[in-house]
Amino acid sequence: MSAPTFGVVVFPGSNCDHDAYHAVKHVLGEKATFLWHKDTDLQGVDVVVLPGGFSYGDYLRCGAISQFSSIMKEVVRHAERGGHVIGICNGFQVLTETGLLPGALLRNRSLKFVCKQVRLRVENAETDFTRRYEQGKVLQIPVAHGEGNFYTDSDTLRELEDNGRVVFRYVDENGEATEAANPNGSLNNIAGIVNSRGNVLGMMPHPERVVENLLGSDDGLGVFASLAESITGSVPALS
Amino acid sequence: MQHEPVVTEEIARELGLTDEEYQMVLDYLGRTPTYTELGMYSVMWSEHCSYKNSIAVLKTLPRSGGKLLVGAGEENAGLVDIGDGLAVAFKIESHNHPSAIEPFQGAATGVGGILRDIFTMGARPVAACDSLRFGDPANPRVQYLVKGVVSGIGHYGNCFGVPTVAGEMYFDSSYQGNPLVNAMAVGIVRHEQTASATAHGKGNPVMIVGSSTGRDGIHGATFASVDLSEDSESKRPSVQVGDPFTEKLLLEATLEIIREDLIVGIQDMGAAGITCSSCEMSAKGKSGMDIDLDLVPIREEGMSAYEILLSESQERMLVVAKQGNEQRVKEIFEKWDLHAVTIGHVTDDSMVTVRRDGEVKGVVPADSLVLGGGAPVYHRETRRPEYLDTTMAFRPSSVPVPGDVSRVLIDLLSSPNIASKRWAYEQYDTSVRTNTAYGPGGDAAVIRVKDTRKALSVKTDCNGRYVYLNPRKGASIAVAEAARNVACTGAEPMAITNCLNFGNPYKPEVYYQFKEACAGMGEACRMFGTPVTGGNVSFYNENPNGAVYPTPVIGMLGLIADIDHITPSAFQQEGDDIVLLGQNHDDINGSEYLSRWHGITGGDAPHLDLDEEHRLHGMLVDQIRQGRIRCAHDVSDGGLAVTLAECCFIGEKRIGAEVTLPVGTIRKDALYFGESQSRVVISCASDQTEAVLAAAMDAGIAAQRIGRTGGDHLVINDDINLPVSDIAKAHGDVLEHMLESR
């Protein structure tokens, strides 16, 4: 299949849209386009990126209003067809609000916004989002959020853990998922999860911010490179 | 329809105009003003808008030349050419008074206001900095202010999507009750896409865009132009409320209308709202405006002309569109779910005419209201403050040299003024927009410029204690240190913006500080070739207990010619040589050490030689460009020992050092903790040391190899031998412990 196209959704209040676009297009060298929230056409993109930011001002609840946007109806259909969707930070919040992913992102345990470099262990390197990483590799990727405290009921948590759906976990410098390494109070130090079908990923840390060594690390590039490889190398999503 | 009060001298006084100023209004108009007109004069001639007590002195600063594309005060922000067809717009502004009353919204709207100044220039904001001053952090009220201000800054900047990358946070009892909250923003624009704050072309539509107008912040500018008192709490309604989400939409829509070349001019509505923007744009374009206030979208019932004109509701702009483009402007704003409403048109009579309820409520000559036009200009009296006799009389021989300097070092590292500000900056998004090569915690922040090989280096700086002890030299040091900071990252200092925080200008002692500080700042700027691109004056930072330290905060812009030259502050490798550039002096004056260890705020400001400082910057940047220098960190608060300690632990890796400093010629405490200026600690590969020392000698800069990196201890002579983990800990969690533990 030809090179994949990434579509970055622009909600009012998205502010990491340009960063995701830059990572995919200028650093990875893949095709990228913006998708306006009022549009109803995904323009045939292979991957939908729901970027970070404060969509609709994060009024009501983070990500809550976005689910009613025109574009999200199409994103849901895209996901139901098996198309790839990645939600980063506010995008993860949108995915849980939309119901494409389980759980909720609560206010950080500290009750404060937190922006810092954290360590993530790749818990499942067999997903379409992580196949370029080694299992268990520890990545340095920043978080920047006020509501990243992943929470879900115990059955869902077991379901996520037992089926390899926890993709990234916050760990310390020794690769251990300690309390101190958890920046927001997430259950089981969970930083990112996939849906059961494996085509929708949500993560609080920002891989698009660490794709160039000039900015401290390129550990995040693997997420986008994995997606590109998954799409060109596997059966394309029906559309 | 509302009836306005009949204007009398008494009412003029209530609105803050002096009798002389009221007479000026009568002379300009040739009649008694209406109440609405009086309100316009009152707010435009407030200190905040008119700079009436500062402009004469500000004009003595170097305000043009270098790479400046517009001179100071000509536009919403300064504009500096950085090559590649790009320019940098940057400016700093205070929001001290609002933050003293309502810290969260006060600080948030301070950030919002400065961001608007940047994007009305057509520039996309790429970085924000914040320079903060508070009283004793052990005081509960101060803790409330610190927490509110920091979360307010984060709230606005994080949502807007600008990385907050640098700044300072000082604590001193002089700021008790009068916190200083200065916000700086930096943006990038293509030369051909810059916008101007002007109105011309008879018949061109005048549009108000962004949020609707409410009663919030009426007379905020006037409130900012008096001392704080017990009554200030009742001025809480003068504090505006910010909405960063709306501002983000306003940013995108504004940049779109500028990119499509639809407009003649645009100005942010900050202080004095529609009044200020309409008068200033008209005066700049030598034209007038006829505005129908009935057309302004309002969010409260029954607002009078006076209220609409003086409202400081946030996230609004005044736009003069090119005739025929109105519809397109509206489409763009509607796309972003914002108002864009035509409220009048440009005239050629140089008058601002305002209508409400079908009646003309005011007709005033635009020029008579504005700074540089008819606004009053005062030359105030100065008197050298008496306290200087006492502070200058301090003799170092009156204090003993401590026996255990290790203890002093640990104590200084844990001083709130020197300790890590991580508690604050982890609440700020520092990496959004993916340009932050170095964020907070080092000498200066480094922001790469996409699509070029260049990077910007930005820093705010001012040590108010130095300025208090010697206003002229202290202000020179503020410029020198900011320039040294950006030079340490590999940047050539380009230009400054300033935020001049002082007490009541009607007190001759305060005015002496102001005038002297401006003189010192001007001397330093001339020496370094860094003109003043604009900024802000904040007087009346005083309460019944006294004035703040005179605090002229410098926002410095530096340019790194190639991203390969970006240089960190901390040691990078084991086995590197450590070299001290610059001369140690027998000088503990004004130091954090003297203040904290001995409890004395005394002496002169520390030693500074501007010429030497300038040569140091040139030599340092040159050696960085030659690829010889692995890290550079300036010697500032806490002196050489604190600098060396920080080099060990503020980087990604912790690396120890063994250092030998020559003792005997100067006091040991001056050697370790003195704050004499023009010194930088660098590290380099050992085969580069000779070349660096030779280059320093050529530049006439003292330089000596003082040690080597490596191990996990910081060892200095026989005096200090501490595990790096211990000194890092002393520096690390101080603010968190002070502010979070109960």
Nearest Cα of chain A lies from the Cα of B243 at a distance, in angstroms, of 9
pLDDT at B740: 87
Q: Dig out the tokens for A149 from the structure.
A: 């405290």
Percent of chain B with pLDDT over 70: 97
Sheet holding B164-171, edge to edge: B68-70, B78-83, B86-94, B180-190, B124-134, B164-171
Among B338, B429, B736, which would you mutate to test the A interface (most chain A Cβ atoms within 10 Å of its Cβ)?
B429
Residues of A with CB under 8 A from a CB of B: 12-13, 15-16, 18-19, 22-23, 52-54, 56-59, 112-116, 142, 144, 146, 206, 208-209, 211-212, 214-216
Chain A CB contacts of B566 under 8 Å are 214
Chain A CB contacts of B249 under 8 Å are 12-13
pLDDT in tens, B655-710: 999 999 998 789 999 999 999 999 999 999 999 999 999 999 999 999 999 999 99
Q: Do B433 and A52 touch (CB under 8 A)?
A: no
Chain A CB contacts of B432 under 8 Å are 15-16, 19, 52, 144, 209
pLDDT in tens, A24-75: 999 999 999 999 999 999 999 999 999 999 999 998 889 899 999 999 999 9
Band (A237; pLDDT cuts 50, 70, 90): very low
Q: Do B249 and A144 touch (CB under 8 A)?
A: no
Q: Do B245 and A114 touch (CB under 8 A)?
A: no
Distance between CA atoms of B652 and B657, rounded to whole angstroms? 16
pLDDT at A236: 39
Element of type H or E holding A54? none
pLDDT at A172: 97
Q: With a CB-CB cutoff of 8 Å, which residues 143-172 of chain B face chain A?
A: 151, 154-155, 158-161
Element of type H or E holding A218? none
Average pLDDT (B411-438) is 97
Q: Do B428 and A115 touch (CB under 8 A)?
A: yes
CB atoms within 10 A of CB B339: 17
Distance between CA atoms of B460 and B183, rounded to whole angstroms? 9
pLDDT at B236: 55
B454 CB within 8 Å of a chain A CB: no
B623 CB within 8 Å of a chain A CB: no
Average pLDDT (B391-403) is 96
Nearest to B431 among A12, A13, A142 (CB): A142
- CA-nearest residue to A214 within chain B is B437
Nearest to A209 among B151, B243, B434 (CB): B434
Nearest to A144 among B249, B429, B450 (CB): B429
pLDDT at B563 over 50: yes
Closest by Cα among B252, B240, B217, B277 to B338: B252
**Neighbouring-strand partners of residue B487:** none
**Those residues with Cβ within 8 angstroms of residue B31's Cβ, 6 or more apart along the chain or in another chain:** none
Nearest Cα of chain B lies from the Cα of A142 at a distance, in angstroms, of 8
Nearest to A19 among B430, B432, B448 (CB): B432
Distance between CA atoms of B193 and B123, rounded to whole angstroms? 8
Element of type H or E holding B307? helix B305-310
Query: Is 3.40.50.880 the CATH classification of the domain at A5-232?
Result: yes
Chain B CB contacts of A70 under 8 Å are none
Band (B314; pLDDT cuts 50, 70, 90): confident
- Structural domain spans, chain A: 5-232
Phi, psi of B296 (to 5 degrees): -70, 125
pLDDT at B474: 98
- CA-nearest residue to B740 within chain A is A110
pLDDT at B223: 62
Contact B683, B647 (CB under 8 A): yes
Nearest to B426 among A15, A114, A214 (CB): A114
Four-CA torsion A15, A21, A27, A32, nearest 10 degrees: 180
Percent of chain B with pLDDT over 90: 89
Cα–Cα distances in angstroms (integers) from residue B688 to residues B253, B693, B695, B727, in the given order: 52, 9, 11, 29
Q: Dig out the tokens for B289 from the structure.
A: 């405006």
Q: Do B429 and A115 touch (CB under 8 A)?
A: yes
pLDDT at A238: 35
Q: Do A115 and B337 touch (CB under 8 A)?
A: no
Nearest Cα of chain A lies from the Cα of B244 at a distance, in angstroms, of 8
**Those residues with Cβ within 8 angstroms of residue B145's Cβ, 6 or more apart along the chain or in another chain:** B99, B100, B103, B134, B179
Nearest Cα of chain A lies from the Cα of B437 at a distance, in angstroms, of 5
**Contacts by B373-379 with C-beta closer than 8 Å and gap 24+?**
B373/B283, B374/B24, B374/B28, B375/B44, B375/B45, B375/B49, B375/B50, B375/B51, B375/B52, B376/B20, B376/B21, B376/B24, B376/B45, B376/B50, B376/B52, B377/B52, B377/B55, B377/B56, B378/B52, B378/B53, B378/B56, B379/B56
B430 CB within 8 Å of a chain A CB: yes
Contact B172, B467 (CB under 8 A): no
pLDDT in tens, A126-156: 999 999 999 999 999 999 999 999 999 999 9
Chain B CB contacts of A52 under 8 Å are 432
pLDDT in tens, A98-128: 999 999 999 999 999 999 999 999 999 999 9
Confidence (pTM): 0.95
Mean pLDDT, rounded, of chain B: 94
Q: Do B246 and A57 touch (CB under 8 A)?
A: yes
Chain B CB contacts of A214 under 8 Å are 437, 448, 563, 566
pLDDT at B64 over 90: no
Provide the H-helix boundaries in chain A: 17-22, 70-80, 90-98, 154-162, 221-233
Active site residues of A: 89, 206, 208
CB contacts < 8 A, A to B, total 85
> Which amino acid does the sequence have at B240?
Q
pLDDT in tens, B220-250: 666 666 676 666 656 556 677 889 999 999 9
pLDDT in tens, B463-521: 999 999 999 999 999 999 999 999 999 999 999 999 999 999 999 999 999 999 999 99
Percent of chain A with pLDDT over 90: 92
Greatest Cα-to-Cα distance within chain B, rounded to the nearest angstrom: 84
Nearest Cα of chain A lies from the Cα of B607 at a distance, in angstroms, of 37
pLDDT at B741: 72
Q: Do B429 and A113 touch (CB under 8 A)?
A: yes
Nearest to B434 among A56, A58, A208 (CB): A208
CB-neighbour burial class of residue B529 (10 A; exposed 0-12, middle 13-18, buried 19+): middle
Average pLDDT (B533-541) is 94
pLDDT in tens, B610-643: 999 999 999 999 999 999 999 999 999 999 999 9
Nearest Cα of chain B lies from the Cα of A156 at a distance, in angstroms, of 31
Element of type H or E holding B494? strand B492-501
- CA-nearest residue to B245 within chain A is A57
Beta pairing, strands A200-203 & A84-88? parallel
Tell me which of B164 and B48 has the higher pLDDT. B164
pLDDT at A1: 56
Positive or negative, the CA dihedral B141, B464, B417, B394 is negative
Chain B CB contacts of A142 under 8 Å are 431
- The ipTM value here is 0.95
Chain B CB contacts of A115 under 8 Å are 158, 425-431
pLDDT at A235 over 60: no
Tracing tokens 């034209």 back to the chain, one arrives at B287
Distance between CA atoms of B279 and B199, rounded to whole angstroms? 9
B434 CB within 8 Å of a chain A CB: yes
pLDDT at A73: 97
pLDDT at B147 over 60: yes
Q: Do A115 and B431 touch (CB under 8 A)?
A: yes
pLDDT at A60: 86
B432 CB within 8 Å of a chain A CB: yes
CA angle B305, B246, B151 (to 5 degrees): 105
